[in-house]
Structure 1
Protein backbone atom coordinates (compact mmCIF):
# COMPACT_ATOMS: atom_id res chain seq x y z
CA UNK A 1 0.00 0.00 0.00
CA UNK A 2 1.36 3.44 -0.95
CA UNK A 3 2.42 5.85 1.75
CA UNK A 4 0.28 9.01 1.67
CA UNK A 5 3.46 11.08 1.95
CA UNK A 6 4.61 9.69 -1.41
CA UNK A 7 1.39 10.55 -3.24
CA UNK A 8 1.60 13.72 -5.37
CA UNK A 9 -2.15 14.22 -4.96
CA UNK A 10 -4.40 13.41 -1.99
CA UNK A 11 -8.07 12.83 -2.77
CA UNK A 12 -11.03 12.66 -0.44
CA UNK A 13 -14.77 13.12 -0.60
CA UNK A 14 -17.06 15.55 1.18
CA UNK A 15 -20.40 14.19 0.02
CA UNK A 16 -20.78 15.15 -3.64
CA UNK A 17 -17.62 17.31 -3.50
CA UNK A 18 -14.26 15.83 -4.53
CA UNK A 19 -11.31 17.46 -2.72
CA UNK A 20 -7.97 17.25 -4.54
CA UNK A 21 -4.91 18.39 -2.57
CA UNK A 22 -1.42 19.06 -3.92
CA UNK A 23 0.85 16.98 -1.69
CA UNK A 24 4.41 18.30 -1.83
CA UNK A 25 4.52 20.40 1.36
CA UNK A 26 8.30 20.16 1.78
CA UNK A 27 8.62 22.28 -1.40
CA UNK A 28 5.53 24.42 -0.77
CA UNK A 29 3.68 22.17 -3.22
CA UNK A 30 5.94 22.88 -6.18
CA UNK A 31 4.72 21.23 -9.36
CA UNK A 32 5.98 17.95 -10.76
CA UNK A 33 5.19 15.67 -13.73
CA UNK A 34 3.73 13.17 -11.25
CA UNK A 35 1.33 15.84 -10.02
CA UNK A 36 0.35 16.75 -13.59
CA UNK A 37 -0.55 13.13 -14.31
CA UNK A 38 -2.34 12.52 -11.01
CA UNK A 39 -4.47 15.66 -11.22
CA UNK A 40 -5.34 15.11 -14.89
CA UNK A 41 -6.41 11.54 -14.12
CA UNK A 42 -8.47 12.66 -11.12
CA UNK A 43 -10.27 15.29 -13.23
CA UNK A 44 -10.98 12.73 -15.95
CA UNK A 45 -12.38 10.28 -13.42
CA UNK A 46 -14.52 13.00 -11.84
CA UNK A 47 -15.92 13.92 -15.24
CA UNK A 48 -17.27 10.39 -15.62
CA UNK A 49 -18.41 9.95 -12.01
CA UNK A 50 -22.06 10.96 -11.58
CA UNK A 51 -21.62 11.10 -7.81
CA UNK A 52 -19.19 14.04 -8.12
CA UNK A 53 -20.99 17.36 -8.37
CA UNK A 54 -18.09 19.77 -7.81
CA UNK A 55 -14.33 19.76 -7.19
CA UNK A 56 -12.13 21.71 -4.79
CA UNK A 57 -8.41 22.04 -5.55
CA UNK A 58 -6.14 22.96 -2.65
CA UNK A 59 -2.69 22.24 -1.17
CA UNK A 60 -1.25 20.48 1.86
CA UNK A 61 0.84 22.14 4.55
CA UNK A 62 -0.53 25.67 4.42
CA UNK A 63 0.44 26.57 0.84
CA UNK A 64 -1.38 26.23 -2.47
CA UNK A 65 1.47 25.91 -4.96
CA UNK A 66 4.92 27.51 -5.28
CA UNK A 67 5.00 26.97 -9.05
CA UNK A 68 7.67 25.03 -10.89
CA UNK A 69 10.39 23.13 -9.06
CA UNK A 70 13.47 25.32 -9.54
CA UNK A 71 15.83 22.35 -9.18
CA UNK A 72 14.13 20.71 -12.16
CA UNK A 73 13.95 23.91 -14.17
CA UNK A 74 17.72 24.38 -13.86
CA UNK A 75 18.25 21.00 -15.52
CA UNK A 76 16.21 22.03 -18.55
CA UNK A 77 19.08 24.21 -19.74
CA UNK A 78 20.70 20.97 -20.86
CA UNK A 79 17.74 19.99 -23.06
CA UNK A 80 17.03 20.94 -26.64
CA UNK A 81 14.31 23.47 -27.45
CA UNK A 82 11.84 20.73 -28.55
CA UNK A 83 12.56 18.79 -25.36
CA UNK A 84 12.00 21.87 -23.21
CA UNK A 85 8.77 22.55 -25.09
CA UNK A 86 7.59 19.00 -24.47
CA UNK A 87 8.19 19.41 -20.74
CA UNK A 88 6.28 22.69 -20.70
CA UNK A 89 3.32 21.14 -22.49
CA UNK A 90 2.83 18.90 -19.45
CA UNK A 91 1.86 22.02 -17.50
CA UNK A 92 -0.24 23.44 -20.32
CA UNK A 93 -2.13 20.17 -20.75
CA UNK A 94 -2.91 20.26 -17.04
CA UNK A 95 -4.23 23.83 -17.32
CA UNK A 96 -6.45 22.72 -20.22
CA UNK A 97 -7.71 19.76 -18.18
CA UNK A 98 -8.74 22.05 -15.32
CA UNK A 99 -10.36 24.56 -17.66
CA UNK A 100 -12.21 21.92 -19.70
CA UNK A 101 -13.50 19.79 -16.82
CA UNK A 102 -17.32 19.91 -17.08
CA UNK A 103 -17.69 19.90 -13.30
CA UNK A 104 -17.20 23.18 -11.39
CA UNK A 105 -13.63 23.44 -10.07
CA UNK A 106 -12.92 25.77 -7.14
CA UNK A 107 -9.43 26.71 -5.94
CA UNK A 108 -8.93 27.12 -2.19
CA UNK A 109 -5.75 29.13 -1.65
CA UNK A 110 -3.84 29.52 1.59
CA UNK A 111 -0.24 30.71 1.83
CA UNK A 112 1.76 30.95 -1.38
CA UNK A 113 0.51 30.73 -4.94
CA UNK A 114 3.49 31.66 -7.10
CA UNK A 115 4.40 31.36 -10.76
CA UNK A 116 2.49 28.47 -12.32
CA UNK A 117 0.67 28.16 -8.99
CA UNK A 118 -1.09 31.42 -9.88
CA UNK A 119 -1.92 29.99 -13.31
CA UNK A 120 -3.35 26.85 -11.75
CA UNK A 121 -5.51 28.81 -9.31
CA UNK A 122 -6.82 31.10 -12.05
CA UNK A 123 -7.56 28.17 -14.36
CA UNK A 124 -10.21 27.06 -11.88
CA UNK A 125 -13.78 28.27 -12.35
CA UNK A 126 -13.85 30.05 -9.02
CA UNK A 127 -11.26 31.11 -6.48
CA UNK A 128 -11.51 31.29 -2.70
CA UNK A 129 -8.48 32.83 -0.99
CA UNK A 130 -7.39 33.63 2.52
CA UNK A 131 -6.99 37.34 3.13
CA UNK A 132 -3.27 36.89 3.75
CA UNK A 133 -2.62 34.48 0.87
CA UNK A 134 0.34 35.62 -1.26
CA UNK A 135 -0.01 35.56 -5.05
CA UNK A 136 3.06 36.27 -7.15
CA UNK A 137 3.69 36.13 -10.90
CA UNK A 138 7.27 35.59 -9.85
CA UNK A 139 8.96 34.49 -13.08
CA UNK A 140 10.86 37.75 -13.58
CA UNK A 141 12.65 37.20 -10.27
CA UNK A 142 14.59 34.33 -11.83
CA UNK A 143 14.85 35.62 -15.40
CA UNK A 144 11.92 33.66 -16.81
CA UNK A 145 8.65 34.58 -18.50
CA UNK A 146 5.11 33.52 -17.48
CA UNK A 147 3.54 30.25 -18.58
CA UNK A 148 0.45 28.22 -17.74
CA UNK A 149 -1.85 30.95 -19.04
CA UNK A 150 -1.07 33.41 -16.25
CA UNK A 151 -1.12 36.44 -18.56
CA UNK A 152 -4.28 35.27 -20.35
CA UNK A 153 -6.21 34.68 -17.13
CA UNK A 154 -5.12 37.90 -15.45
CA UNK A 155 -5.89 39.93 -18.59
CA UNK A 156 -9.55 38.97 -18.16
CA UNK A 157 -9.64 40.95 -14.92
CA UNK A 158 -7.05 43.71 -14.86
CA UNK A 159 -5.88 46.54 -17.08
CA UNK A 160 -2.77 46.21 -19.23
CA UNK A 161 -0.94 48.49 -16.83
CA UNK A 162 -1.77 46.35 -13.78
CA UNK A 163 -0.99 43.15 -15.69
CA UNK A 164 2.38 44.57 -16.69
CA UNK A 165 3.11 45.67 -13.12
CA UNK A 166 2.32 42.23 -11.72
CA UNK A 167 4.47 40.46 -14.30
CA UNK A 168 7.43 42.86 -14.42
CA UNK A 169 7.81 43.30 -10.66
CA UNK A 170 6.84 39.80 -9.52
CA UNK A 171 5.74 41.39 -6.27
CA UNK A 172 3.45 39.56 -3.89
CA UNK A 173 -0.24 40.45 -3.99
CA UNK A 174 -2.44 39.59 -1.03
CA UNK A 175 -5.70 37.74 -1.27
CA UNK A 176 -7.40 41.00 -0.33
CA UNK A 177 -5.86 42.90 -3.25
CA UNK A 178 -6.57 40.12 -5.73
CA UNK A 179 -10.17 40.13 -4.53
CA UNK A 180 -10.34 43.87 -5.19
CA UNK A 181 -8.89 43.31 -8.68
CA UNK A 182 -11.56 40.73 -9.49
CA UNK A 183 -10.19 37.18 -9.72
CA UNK A 184 -11.05 36.11 -6.15
CA UNK A 185 -14.71 35.17 -5.62
CA UNK A 186 -14.65 34.79 -1.84
CA UNK A 187 -12.27 36.03 0.82
CA UNK A 188 -11.67 33.86 3.88
CA UNK A 189 -9.98 34.39 7.18
CA UNK A 190 -6.55 32.72 7.43
CA UNK A 191 -6.96 28.96 7.67
CA UNK A 192 -10.58 29.03 6.45
CA UNK A 193 -10.18 29.05 2.65
CA UNK A 194 -10.88 25.33 2.32
CA UNK A 195 -14.00 25.51 4.48
CA UNK A 196 -15.29 28.49 2.47
CA UNK A 197 -14.56 26.66 -0.78
CA UNK A 198 -16.35 23.53 0.47
CA UNK A 199 -19.43 25.56 1.35
CA UNK A 200 -19.50 27.01 -2.16
CA UNK A 201 -18.75 23.65 -3.78
CA UNK A 202 -21.55 21.90 -1.89
CA UNK A 203 -23.98 24.52 -3.14
CA UNK A 204 -22.85 23.94 -6.73
CA UNK A 205 -22.81 20.17 -6.33
CA UNK A 206 -26.56 20.20 -5.74
CA UNK A 207 -27.15 21.78 -9.15
CA UNK A 208 -28.00 20.30 -12.56
CA UNK A 209 -24.87 18.72 -14.09
CA UNK A 210 -25.58 19.22 -17.79
CA UNK A 211 -26.84 22.77 -17.42
CA UNK A 212 -23.81 23.74 -15.32
CA UNK A 213 -21.39 22.19 -17.82
CA UNK A 214 -23.01 24.22 -20.61
CA UNK A 215 -22.98 27.37 -18.49
CA UNK A 216 -19.24 26.85 -17.96
CA UNK A 217 -18.78 26.59 -21.73
CA UNK A 218 -20.74 29.82 -22.25
CA UNK A 219 -18.70 31.67 -19.63
CA UNK A 220 -15.42 30.51 -21.18
CA UNK A 221 -16.46 31.52 -24.68
CA UNK A 222 -17.90 34.89 -23.69
CA UNK A 223 -14.49 36.60 -23.68
CA UNK A 224 -13.53 35.61 -27.22
CA UNK A 225 -16.80 35.22 -29.12
CA UNK A 226 -18.56 37.99 -30.97
CA UNK A 227 -22.09 38.81 -29.82
CA UNK A 228 -23.52 36.82 -32.74
CA UNK A 229 -21.37 33.80 -31.89
CA UNK A 230 -22.39 33.96 -28.25
CA UNK A 231 -26.07 34.35 -29.12
CA UNK A 232 -25.82 31.28 -31.33
CA UNK A 233 -24.18 29.23 -28.60
CA UNK A 234 -26.74 30.37 -26.06
CA UNK A 235 -29.57 29.48 -28.43
CA UNK A 236 -28.23 25.97 -29.03
CA UNK A 237 -27.89 25.29 -25.32
CA UNK A 238 -31.25 26.84 -24.40
CA UNK A 239 -33.39 24.96 -26.92
CA UNK A 240 -31.78 21.73 -25.76
CA UNK A 241 -32.19 22.60 -22.08
CA UNK A 242 -35.88 23.39 -22.47
CA UNK A 243 -36.58 19.71 -23.23
CA UNK A 244 -34.13 18.20 -20.72
CA UNK A 245 -35.03 16.21 -17.64
CA UNK A 246 -33.07 18.73 -15.60
CA UNK A 247 -35.33 21.60 -16.64
CA UNK A 248 -38.40 19.40 -16.15
CA UNK A 249 -37.35 18.82 -12.54
CA UNK A 250 -36.18 22.40 -11.98
CA UNK A 251 -39.34 24.05 -13.25
CA UNK A 252 -41.59 21.56 -11.49
CA UNK A 253 -39.78 22.19 -8.22
CA UNK A 254 -40.12 25.95 -8.65
CA UNK A 255 -43.88 25.72 -9.36
CA UNK A 256 -44.38 23.28 -6.50
CA UNK A 257 -42.35 25.47 -4.13
CA UNK A 258 -39.87 22.72 -3.19
CA UNK A 259 -36.09 22.26 -3.61
CA UNK A 260 -35.11 20.69 -6.92
CA UNK A 261 -33.55 17.22 -6.70
CA UNK A 262 -31.19 16.46 -9.59
CA UNK A 263 -29.47 13.48 -7.98
CA UNK A 264 -31.66 10.89 -9.70
CA UNK A 265 -30.89 12.37 -13.12
CA UNK A 266 -27.12 12.01 -13.02
CA UNK A 267 -25.62 9.57 -15.48
CA UNK A 268 -21.97 8.67 -16.19
CA UNK A 269 -20.44 10.84 -18.93
CA UNK A 270 -18.98 9.21 -22.00
Structure 2
Protein backbone atom coordinates (compact mmCIF):
# COMPACT_ATOMS: atom_id res chain seq x y z
CA UNK A 1 0.00 0.00 0.00
CA UNK A 2 2.90 2.36 0.71
CA UNK A 3 3.34 5.25 3.09
CA UNK A 4 4.22 8.93 3.13
CA UNK A 5 6.22 9.40 6.31
CA UNK A 6 6.81 12.74 8.05
CA UNK A 7 9.46 13.60 10.62
CA UNK A 8 10.26 17.05 12.00
CA UNK A 9 13.59 18.10 13.52
CA UNK A 10 13.46 21.73 14.57
CA UNK A 11 13.10 23.92 11.47
CA UNK A 12 13.49 20.98 9.06
CA UNK A 13 10.73 18.60 8.04
CA UNK A 14 11.50 15.40 6.15
CA UNK A 15 8.90 13.69 3.95
CA UNK A 16 9.78 10.13 2.88
CA UNK A 17 8.02 8.19 0.13
CA UNK A 18 7.98 4.51 1.08
CA UNK A 19 6.55 1.59 -0.89
CA UNK A 20 8.68 -1.47 -0.29
CA UNK A 21 9.31 -3.69 -3.30
CA UNK A 22 7.91 -1.11 -5.75
CA UNK A 23 10.66 1.55 -5.75
CA UNK A 24 8.25 3.83 -3.86
CA UNK A 25 5.57 3.84 -6.59
CA UNK A 26 2.64 6.01 -5.54
CA UNK A 27 -0.56 4.24 -4.48
CA UNK A 28 -3.85 6.13 -4.27
CA UNK A 29 -3.49 6.17 -0.49
CA UNK A 30 -0.01 7.67 -0.81
CA UNK A 31 -1.30 10.52 -2.99
CA UNK A 32 -3.90 11.31 -0.33
CA UNK A 33 -1.26 11.12 2.40
CA UNK A 34 1.00 13.44 0.39
CA UNK A 35 -1.80 16.00 0.16
CA UNK A 36 -2.58 15.77 3.86
CA UNK A 37 1.11 16.07 4.79
CA UNK A 38 1.76 19.21 2.75
CA UNK A 39 -1.44 20.85 3.94
CA UNK A 40 -0.42 20.10 7.52
CA UNK A 41 3.20 21.26 7.34
CA UNK A 42 2.62 25.05 7.08
CA UNK A 43 0.64 24.90 10.33
CA UNK A 44 3.63 23.52 12.24
CA UNK A 45 5.29 26.30 14.19
CA UNK A 46 9.00 26.64 13.56
CA UNK A 47 9.20 24.56 10.37
CA UNK A 48 11.06 26.53 7.69
CA UNK A 49 11.99 23.99 5.02
CA UNK A 50 10.89 20.57 3.77
CA UNK A 51 13.13 17.86 2.33
CA UNK A 52 11.42 15.11 0.32
CA UNK A 53 13.13 11.82 -0.55
CA UNK A 54 12.38 8.21 -1.29
CA UNK A 55 13.30 5.21 0.81
CA UNK A 56 15.87 2.59 -0.16
CA UNK A 57 17.88 4.43 -2.80
CA UNK A 58 15.00 5.37 -5.12
CA UNK A 59 12.87 8.50 -5.32
CA UNK A 60 9.63 7.27 -6.92
CA UNK A 61 9.12 4.84 -9.81
CA UNK A 62 5.72 6.24 -10.89
CA UNK A 63 2.24 5.05 -10.00
CA UNK A 64 1.31 1.70 -8.50
CA UNK A 65 0.10 0.02 -11.69
CA UNK A 66 -1.26 -2.99 -9.78
CA UNK A 67 -4.10 -0.71 -8.62
CA UNK A 68 -4.99 0.56 -12.10
CA UNK A 69 -7.48 -2.09 -13.30
CA UNK A 70 -9.76 -1.19 -10.39
CA UNK A 71 -10.48 2.34 -11.67
CA UNK A 72 -8.65 3.37 -14.84
CA UNK A 73 -11.14 2.00 -17.40
CA UNK A 74 -14.09 4.09 -16.23
CA UNK A 75 -14.01 7.77 -17.26
CA UNK A 76 -15.50 9.16 -14.05
CA UNK A 77 -13.24 7.04 -11.83
CA UNK A 78 -10.19 7.95 -13.91
CA UNK A 79 -10.99 11.65 -13.67
CA UNK A 80 -11.44 11.32 -9.91
CA UNK A 81 -8.05 9.64 -9.58
CA UNK A 82 -6.15 12.31 -11.52
CA UNK A 83 -8.07 15.41 -10.47
CA UNK A 84 -8.54 14.53 -6.79
CA UNK A 85 -5.92 11.98 -5.71
CA UNK A 86 -2.96 12.90 -7.92
CA UNK A 87 -3.60 16.59 -8.40
CA UNK A 88 -4.64 16.84 -4.76
CA UNK A 89 -1.15 15.72 -3.74
CA UNK A 90 0.70 17.80 -6.33
CA UNK A 91 -1.34 20.96 -5.74
CA UNK A 92 -0.78 20.68 -1.98
CA UNK A 93 2.97 20.73 -2.68
CA UNK A 94 2.67 23.61 -5.16
CA UNK A 95 0.52 25.63 -2.74
CA UNK A 96 2.89 25.06 0.20
CA UNK A 97 4.67 28.29 1.17
CA UNK A 98 7.57 26.38 2.73
CA UNK A 99 10.62 25.85 0.48
CA UNK A 100 10.90 22.21 -0.68
CA UNK A 101 14.19 20.43 -1.45
CA UNK A 102 14.13 17.16 -3.44
CA UNK A 103 16.71 14.45 -2.76
CA UNK A 104 16.52 12.34 -5.93
CA UNK A 105 18.12 8.93 -6.26
CA UNK A 106 17.55 5.91 -8.51
CA UNK A 107 14.18 5.75 -10.25
CA UNK A 108 12.37 9.05 -10.78
CA UNK A 109 9.63 8.11 -13.23
CA UNK A 110 6.16 9.42 -14.02
CA UNK A 111 4.74 10.41 -10.66
CA UNK A 112 8.31 10.85 -9.43
CA UNK A 113 9.02 13.47 -12.10
CA UNK A 114 5.73 15.18 -11.22
CA UNK A 115 6.56 15.28 -7.50
CA UNK A 116 10.09 16.52 -8.22
CA UNK A 117 8.57 19.21 -10.45
CA UNK A 118 6.79 20.62 -7.39
CA UNK A 119 10.08 21.16 -5.54
CA UNK A 120 12.11 24.37 -5.41
CA UNK A 121 15.59 22.82 -5.24
CA UNK A 122 16.47 19.47 -6.87
CA UNK A 123 19.61 17.57 -5.83
CA UNK A 124 20.18 14.34 -7.73
CA UNK A 125 22.47 11.34 -7.63
CA UNK A 126 24.47 10.25 -10.66
CA UNK A 127 22.42 7.03 -10.54
CA UNK A 128 19.10 8.86 -10.96
CA UNK A 129 17.03 8.15 -14.05
CA UNK A 130 14.10 10.28 -15.23
CA UNK A 131 11.18 9.55 -17.53
CA UNK A 132 7.44 9.14 -17.99
CA UNK A 133 7.18 6.08 -20.25
CA UNK A 134 3.40 5.80 -20.05
CA UNK A 135 3.15 5.56 -23.85
CA UNK A 136 4.03 1.91 -23.25
CA UNK A 137 0.95 1.64 -21.05
CA UNK A 138 -1.45 3.07 -23.60
CA UNK A 139 -2.43 6.33 -21.92
CA UNK A 140 -1.45 10.02 -21.91
CA UNK A 141 -0.37 12.24 -19.04
CA UNK A 142 -3.26 14.17 -17.46
CA UNK A 143 -3.45 17.84 -18.56
CA UNK A 144 -2.49 19.53 -15.28
CA UNK A 145 0.33 17.04 -14.74
CA UNK A 146 1.64 17.53 -18.30
CA UNK A 147 1.51 21.30 -17.88
CA UNK A 148 3.53 21.01 -14.66
CA UNK A 149 6.21 18.75 -16.17
CA UNK A 150 6.48 20.83 -19.36
CA UNK A 151 6.89 23.99 -17.31
CA UNK A 152 9.57 22.60 -15.01
CA UNK A 153 11.44 20.14 -17.27
CA UNK A 154 10.78 21.99 -20.54
CA UNK A 155 8.44 21.23 -23.42
CA UNK A 156 11.19 19.51 -25.42
CA UNK A 157 11.93 17.12 -22.55
CA UNK A 158 8.25 16.50 -21.83
CA UNK A 159 7.63 15.60 -25.48
CA UNK A 160 10.62 13.24 -25.52
CA UNK A 161 9.47 11.49 -22.34
CA UNK A 162 5.81 11.22 -23.36
CA UNK A 163 6.06 10.53 -27.10
CA UNK A 164 9.29 8.50 -27.22
CA UNK A 165 9.14 6.99 -23.70
CA UNK A 166 12.68 8.33 -23.29
CA UNK A 167 14.56 7.75 -20.04
CA UNK A 168 17.20 10.40 -19.35
CA UNK A 169 20.11 10.32 -16.92
CA UNK A 170 20.83 12.91 -14.27
CA UNK A 171 23.62 14.62 -16.22
CA UNK A 172 21.26 15.20 -19.16
CA UNK A 173 18.48 16.50 -16.92
CA UNK A 174 20.92 18.95 -15.31
CA UNK A 175 22.06 20.11 -18.75
CA UNK A 176 18.42 20.75 -19.62
CA UNK A 177 17.89 22.86 -16.50
CA UNK A 178 15.73 20.54 -14.42
CA UNK A 179 18.33 19.78 -11.72
CA UNK A 180 20.38 22.15 -9.62
CA UNK A 181 23.23 19.74 -8.99
CA UNK A 182 24.27 16.13 -9.67
CA UNK A 183 26.59 14.35 -7.26
CA UNK A 184 28.02 10.88 -6.60
CA UNK A 185 25.36 8.83 -4.85
CA UNK A 186 27.02 8.94 -1.43
CA UNK A 187 27.08 12.74 -1.44
CA UNK A 188 23.43 13.36 -2.33
CA UNK A 189 21.85 13.03 1.12
CA UNK A 190 24.46 15.25 2.86
CA UNK A 191 24.14 17.90 0.14
CA UNK A 192 20.33 17.88 0.18
CA UNK A 193 20.33 18.18 3.97
CA UNK A 194 22.93 20.97 3.86
CA UNK A 195 20.87 22.94 1.34
CA UNK A 196 17.72 22.49 3.39
CA UNK A 197 19.57 23.65 6.50
CA UNK A 198 20.85 26.76 4.68
CA UNK A 199 17.34 27.61 3.54
CA UNK A 200 16.02 27.10 7.09
CA UNK A 201 18.58 29.65 8.29
CA UNK A 202 17.20 32.37 6.04
CA UNK A 203 14.32 34.75 6.76
CA UNK A 204 11.12 32.64 6.78
CA UNK A 205 8.80 35.51 5.83
CA UNK A 206 10.93 36.32 2.77
CA UNK A 207 10.83 32.65 1.74
CA UNK A 208 7.04 32.56 1.99
CA UNK A 209 6.64 35.76 -0.01
CA UNK A 210 9.10 34.59 -2.67
CA UNK A 211 7.18 31.33 -3.08
CA UNK A 212 3.88 33.21 -3.39
CA UNK A 213 5.39 35.54 -6.01
CA UNK A 214 6.87 32.67 -8.05
CA UNK A 215 3.59 30.75 -7.88
CA UNK A 216 1.73 33.78 -9.25
CA UNK A 217 4.27 34.35 -12.04
CA UNK A 218 4.21 30.70 -13.16
CA UNK A 219 0.47 30.11 -13.05
CA UNK A 220 -1.42 29.37 -16.27
CA UNK A 221 -4.98 28.21 -16.96
CA UNK A 222 -5.79 25.02 -18.88
CA UNK A 223 -8.68 25.39 -21.40
CA UNK A 224 -11.93 23.99 -20.01
CA UNK A 225 -12.71 22.00 -23.16
CA UNK A 226 -9.46 20.07 -22.75
CA UNK A 227 -10.37 19.25 -19.16
CA UNK A 228 -13.82 18.04 -20.25
CA UNK A 229 -12.46 15.47 -22.71
CA UNK A 230 -9.21 14.56 -20.99
CA UNK A 231 -10.34 11.18 -19.61
CA UNK A 232 -12.60 9.88 -22.41
CA UNK A 233 -9.92 7.33 -23.32
CA UNK A 234 -10.66 5.43 -20.10
CA UNK A 235 -12.42 2.45 -21.74
CA UNK A 236 -10.32 2.44 -24.93
CA UNK A 237 -8.68 -0.72 -26.30
CA UNK A 238 -5.20 0.82 -26.18
CA UNK A 239 -5.59 1.82 -22.53
CA UNK A 240 -6.72 -1.65 -21.50
CA UNK A 241 -4.02 -3.35 -23.56
CA UNK A 242 -1.23 -1.22 -22.09
CA UNK A 243 -2.19 -1.92 -18.49
CA UNK A 244 -2.97 -5.62 -19.10
CA UNK A 245 0.37 -6.15 -20.87
CA UNK A 246 2.32 -4.53 -18.04
CA UNK A 247 0.60 -6.60 -15.39
CA UNK A 248 0.98 -9.74 -17.52
CA UNK A 249 4.69 -9.00 -18.07
CA UNK A 250 4.39 -9.05 -21.85
CA UNK A 251 4.92 -6.62 -24.72
CA UNK A 252 1.76 -4.67 -25.53
CA UNK A 253 0.22 -4.91 -28.99
CA UNK A 254 -1.22 -1.56 -30.00
**What do residues 155-193 of structure 1 show as CA deviations (whole Å, max 9, x unaligned)?**
335664443222211121111111110011122211432
1:50 aligns to what SS in structure 2? coil
Q: Which has the higher contact order (CA 8 A, sep 6+)?
A: 2
2:71 aligns to what SS in structure 1? helix
Alpha carbons 1:129, 1:187 under 8 Å: kept: yes
Unaligned runs of 5+ in 1: 1-5, 226-270
Unaligned runs of 5+ in 2: 221-254
Question: What is the distance in 2 between the residues matched to 1:116 and 1:174?
Answer: 17
Alpha carbons 1:99, 1:125 under 8 Å: kept: no
1:35 aligns with 2:30: yes
1:92 to 87, 95, 119: 87
Query: What value does the CA root-mean-square deviation take over the aligned residues?
Result: 2.1
1:135 aligns with 2:130: yes
The 1:212–1:93 alpha-carbon spacing in structure 2 relative to 1, beyond 3 Å, is same
**What is the total number of aligned residue pairs between the two structures?**
219
1:16 aligns with 2:11: yes
Alpha carbons 2:108, 2:130 under 8 Å: kept: yes
Partner of 1:81: 75
The 1:147–1:108 alpha-carbon spacing in structure 2 relative to 1, beyond 3 Å, is farther
1:27 aligns to what SS in structure 2? coil
Question: What is the distance in 2 between the residues matched to 1:117 and 1:148?
Answer: 16
Question: What is the distance in 2 between the residues matched to 1:193 and 1:143?
Answer: 34
Alpha carbons 1:119, 1:147 under 8 Å: kept: no
**What do residues 104-126 of structure 1 show as CA deviations (whole Å, max 9, x unaligned)?**
01111100011111111111122
The 1:154–1:54 alpha-carbon spacing in structure 2 relative to 1, beyond 3 Å, is same
TM-score normalized with structure 2 length? 0.79
Alpha carbons 1:54, 1:201 under 8 Å: kept: yes
Give the greater-gyration-radius structure (CA). 1
TM-score normalized with structure 1 length? 0.75
2:215 to 205, 220, 224: 220
2:141 to 139, 146, 160: 146
2:51 aligns to what SS in structure 1? strand
Question: What is the distance in 1 between the residues matched to 2:125 and 2:188?
Answer: 5
Partner of 1:49: 44
1:182 to 177, 183, 187: 177
Alpha carbons 1:106, 1:128 under 8 Å: kept: yes
Question: What is the distance in 2 between the residues matched to 1:219 and 1:178?
Answer: 22
Partner of 2:236: none
Question: What is the distance in 1 between the residues matched to 2:142 and 2:111?
Answer: 7
1:52 aligns to what SS in structure 2? coil
